Structure 1
Amino acid sequence: MEESKKAGEVRMERDGAICVIKVDNVAKKNAFSPEMMEQLAQHLTRFEEDDSLWVAVLCAEGEHTTAGLDMPKFFGPTATARPRPDAWVDPFGLKRRATKPVIAVVQGITYTIGIEIMLACDIVVAADTARFGQLESRRGIAPLGGAHFRYLTRTGWGNAMYHLFLCEEFGAQRALELGFVQEVVPYGQQLDRALDLARRICRNAPLGIRATKEAALKYLEGGEQAAIACIPQIREKVFASEDFKEGIQSFIERREARFQGR
């Protein structure tokens, strides 16, 4: 099958006590289809529920982490998106969240949901090629995967609003300064470095590590739950707007959007 015609997928591999979850839709810069999002959630759930797996590494094939959602498949007339069961681990950490360590690996384009998924992980290793952008409001929508509060918890109000309002790209070193990523390494070394960190984590008692993460999540829970509760209101207000329709149409037509504020 030609590369351009292959359906994207998310695979899971085992390496001892380490679980490697790999996104593969290279022909579309690893844009996520609804089916790929389901696969990611299923793999994270398997990882969470298998006591023989202690650490997960989430990565992507090719030069780029992800260009974001395959928009027409989520919002267009042929959309195939459907709700995921609450019992599954949520890749965005808005519902059920993994209680074991998850390390994200990023490189190249890491847009929108790519940032939100990595911020729902615990540690991020970035290649020096990584480029980040929370671009939803340039497309007539708003972040719905946790960016509206995780930017705050990582960077503080000013830095969060700076990037959420401008919707402009920033690089790996800026992400390191913000605390979005914990290490920046030369391109090609990012997965090996993440696996090295995973192996070092596995030298420690898994029950102690898990208890530590669960306790830390308890500390965050109150503020995060209030922010998560706002998401249906954001969706109702923004997705009913003319600007939303214009944003999707401009994306499909690959042109600059002309927003009117209604």
Structure 2
Amino acid sequence: MLIGLDRPSKRNAFDLPLLDDLTLAYGEFERDTEARVALVFAHGEHFTAGLDLANVAATFVSGWQIPEGGCDPWGVFGGPRVSKPVIVAVQGYCYTISIELMLASDINLCASNTRFAQMEVQRGIFPFGGATLRMHQTAGWGNAMRWLLTGDEFDAHEACRLGLVQEVLASEELMPRALQLAERVAAQAPLGVQATLASARQAVNEGETAAAADLPTTMRRLMASEDAQEGVRAMQERRPGEFKGR
């Protein structure tokens, strides 16, 4: 499923309608049994300039909530999270809450012209969309604090060094490569992909011991699936598997 930010006249800055629409798109993705992976991108030159603070500040002070039927793209605002992989492809400005969207996603790509900044401390607030939870897990404590405590801007190659993105590409190659990766993930066994994602998340959120305790049960469930049987047949017949998600 392609999910595109579409407020290019404002550099895709998040106002309340865009925030709500993104959560509803994630909800639609979660419920769509035919959609195995989501690719989040942006229309226009910039991924997003971050939050449109003039529009959203009062709502966040009173408490923004995920709309009914939506899923929480950031995993910190109290709504359910999607159980399927999300790939994010960014270019141009990628500020504040968009970095946090990437940190909550699974695979991230960027164009070589991307400029990143977690600049909340320059606006009298702090990164409340998950960067304080995840940036140090991805980049290490010192690297995370270097950018979170200054709000300074950094480039695509620094983002790759930090582990925020997995690949840096020319602008014209960004979407073709992102689509190629999305199709590659979508071709794999859906139950296996979702179980891999769930186990890794559990290890982060609950600890390795809790995640390890659940491995045998998950293994037995997947071994009994039609997809696992198809995987064996495909291996024996030396062909790609044709998986149904059951």
Tell whether the structures are fold-level matches, with TM greater than 0.5: yes
Q: Distance in 1 between matches of 2:139 and 2:95?
A: 18
Task: Determine if the alignment matches structure 1 residue 75 to structure 2 residue 95.
Answer: no
1:76 Cα offset (Å): 5.2
Return the letter of the residue paired with 1:54: R
Q: Distance in 2 between matches of 1:103 and 1:82?
A: 25
- Cα distance, 1:76–1:202 mapped onto 2, change above 3 Å: closer
Return the letter of the residue paired with 2:47: T
1:196 aligned partner: 180
Task: Determine if the alignment matches structure 1 residue 124 to structure 2 residue 108.
Answer: yes
2:214 aligned partner: none
Q: Which one of 99, 106, 109 corresponds to residue 115 of structure 1?
A: 99
**Dislocated runs of 4+, deviation >3 Å:** 79-82
1:260 aligned partner: none
Return the letter of the residue paired with 1:65: F
1:212 aligned partner: 196
Q: Which one of 15, 37, 45 corresponds to residue 27 of structure 2?
A: 45
Q: Distance in 2 between matches of 1:201 and 1:115?
A: 22
Q: Distance in 1 between matches of 2:204 and 2:180?
A: 28
Structure 2: give runs of 5+ residues left out of the alignment: 208-246
Q: Distance in 1 between matches of 2:181 and 2:108?
A: 10
- SS of the residue aligned with 2:148? helix
CA offset digits 1:128-155 (Å, max 9, x no partner): 0111000001000011100101111101
For this pair of structures, how many residues does the alignment match?
Answer: 204
Between structure 1 and structure 2, the one with the greater Rg is 2
Return the letter of the residue paired with 2:15: S
1:54 aligned partner: 36
Residues 23, 67 of structure 2: 8 Å contact kept: no
Q: Distance in 2 between matches of 1:102 and 1:141?
A: 28
Q: Map of 1:230-245 to 2, 5 A cutoff? A: none
Q: Which one of 180, 188, 213 corresponds to residue 164 of structure 2?
A: 180
RMSD: 1.8
1:87 Cα offset (Å): 6.0
Q: Distance in 2 between matches of 1:55 and 1:148?
A: 26
1:25 Cα offset (Å): 0.9
- SS of the residue aligned with 1:184? strand
1:156 aligned partner: 140
Structure 1: give runs of 5+ residues left out of the alignment: 1-18, 224-262
Once the two structures are aligned, what percentage of the paired residues are identical?
43
Residues 23, 59 of structure 1: 8 Å contact kept: yes
Residues 94, 115 of structure 2: 8 Å contact kept: yes
Q: Map of 1:31-42 to 2, 5 A cutoff? A: 31-42=13-24
Residues 20, 67 of structure 2: 8 Å contact kept: no
Residues 41, 90 of structure 1: 8 Å contact kept: yes
Name the structure where helix makes up a greater proportion of residues: 2
1:222 Cα offset (Å): 3.1
Residues 74, 80 of structure 1: 8 Å contact kept: no
Residues 108, 131 of structure 1: 8 Å contact kept: yes
- SS of the residue aligned with 2:108? strand
TM-score normalized by the length of structure 2: 0.79
TM-score normalized by the length of structure 1: 0.74
